[in-house]
Structure 1
């Protein structure tokens, strides 16, 4: 997808459910290290990167994300060789930022972002997925800061995100897509729409993660139909509604919630992915839709059969 692709107007009517024979011709399906239980550059509970590449290719995917920087080789020549011989192409890189903390964190943020953006560009990708800082630790659940931003922090978040998007575009030719995420300050419908309304649409787009948005109470189809011109990228994910209810009732942090299985294998959870994909197709632009099933930590033999079944399910949807 190119950043200059025209967007159609958001649809006001409900999106039709695609038949198995329909073709979601504008949707490019891929997967990511996340679906293999990979959250960190180096962790003994994660599968080796070679196994991830072997298995994601064997599952029938052609597109992948870089995942946490340093998990896959950071030498572009090495990574190009390893992905090419498996028939894989990189769709995006991912960065974590704390831009609500203001200009004081710009230099450290840019040092982190520039390395990842350079590798993303070298791999021929056009998107950089930006995930806001967690207000509580994703591994331990420790509360790190207030879950609600002050007005000043909101201004910092929007202004610094626009700055980042401008610099990434000018220096690396990449499009920033901001990822609403559980246990961050861009999570619920209220906070997502507030963020979108306060940022420049020519600079900042959204990576809509269907699982995280449902986790935080949002409706992905409604968001696509209302803010279609801002949807620049998709992550396909589902949540188990019963586990989610327990997580919400117990105020369980995101990391432990994942360990409980709150993110589940499609099509057993919510939201239904068929109407999400249909709504995205109706935008009339090319979109990546990258499967992410948070499973950290998980047994090493668990991801492959899930990935194969998920790819088959998405094919049955026309993708």
Structure 2
């Protein structure tokens, strides 16, 4: 099979079952429950979830993941890169050590404000911005020392959220991006266009579909991000306003061969079960598999055309 015919590498993340690092976000299902749901859907890889959600001791982590046939590929780490570089690097080093010991490959870094949650954020002056970039580059070196790639995740309620901030990050550094289709759209960035323009800077992809009406309200400050999530901001792939198929096709055509992580941020109320999130993840998974199958079919057709032409 040629490189053009490789299937998509699909993973999941605990946030799709409401597991979030924000205090008071909602009910947190146990790791065994979430992993069991992933395994039942045929998911073979996951991000770690919030620090401490999965065991921090490598042996315990392998013992937990093994029976489910799920590999850990890395995880999300939100750090105040502009405030205390030494503390941020220490936290990143601890996560990188765990990720590497688990056989993971990517550290997904977000420029946190230093406050709890993602509902408010401040603006940085030039000095703080330079500190943010410098700290991110230092963390990339730390992660590389453990065999990990580092990608920066534009994220609602962080210091890299809007189009100008994403463009400035790309201009001021050679850092790679985590393209999160939902957070980019909410920040006013077209994720499909970004993927086309910066194919060589895409290091990781989080796939969400989004209701544009709610995204617009978050973007203009009419509603807080957490409230919008509870009102159904994120929906299964194909049910929202992100052109997921075009984005995947563009990323693939641009040479991206990394993970496509299904991430539908949700928040569970007390007493909610895993059934609803699992139903949504299954719909997204089947949609993404369908897109991947079409890529394989198109690749096979191109191979036949080239063979006939030869």
Q: State the TM-score, normalizing by the size of structure 2.
A: 0.86
1:59 is aligned to 41
The residue matched to 1:317 in structure 2 has which SS? helix
Q: Structure 2: where are the runs of 5+ without partners?
A: 294-310
1:239 is aligned to 210
2:52 counterpart of 1:78: no
Deviation digits for residues 123-181 of structure 1, max 9, x if unmatched? 11111000111476427x4x4x52x22111111111111111112212x1211111000
Matches within 5 A, 1:296-307: 296-298=267-269, 299-300=272-273, 301-307=275-281
Residues 130 and 205 (structure 1), Cα distance of their counterparts in 2 relative to 1, 3 Å cut = same
Q: Tell me, in whole angstroms, the C-alpha distance in 1 between the residues paired with 2:204 and 2:249.
A: 14
CA contact (8 A) 2:23 2:116 kept: no
CA contact (8 A) 1:28 1:288 kept: yes
Matches within 5 A, 1:1-319: 25=6, 27-40=8-21, 45-101=27-83, 105-134=84-113, 137-138=116-117, 141=119, 143=120, 146=122, 148-170=123-145, 172-199=146-173, 201=174, 204-298=175-269, 299-300=272-273, 301-318=275-292
- Point out which structure has higher relative CO (alpha carbons under 8 A, 6+ apart): 1
Q: Report the CA distance between 1:28 and its aligned residue.
A: 0.8
Q: Tell me, in whole angstroms, the C-alpha distance in 2 between the residues paired with 1:225 and 1:216.
A: 18
The residue matched to 2:292 in structure 1 has which SS? coil
Q: Tell me, in whole angstroms, the C-alpha distance in 2 between the residues paired with 1:187 and 1:265.
A: 23
The residue matched to 1:318 in structure 2 has which SS? helix
Structure 1 or 2: more helix by fraction? 2
Deviation digits for residues 205-247 of structure 1, max 9, x if unmatched? 1111001001111111211121111100000011112222343
Deviation digits for residues 229-287 of structure 1, max 9, x if unmatched? 11000000111122223434553222222122212222111212101110111122421
The residue matched to 2:203 in structure 1 has which SS? strand
Q: Report the CA distance between 1:41 and its aligned residue.
A: 8.7
CA contact (8 A) 1:36 1:295 kept: yes
CA contact (8 A) 2:80 2:114 kept: no
Q: Tell me, in whole angstroms, the C-alpha distance in 1 between the residues paired with 2:131 and 2:113.
A: 16
Query: Over aligned residue pairs, what C-alpha RMSD do you find?
Result: 2.1
Q: Structure 1: where are the runs of 5+ without partners?
A: 1-22
> Following superposition, which runs of at least 4 residues in structure 1 exceed 6 angstroms of deviation?
41-44
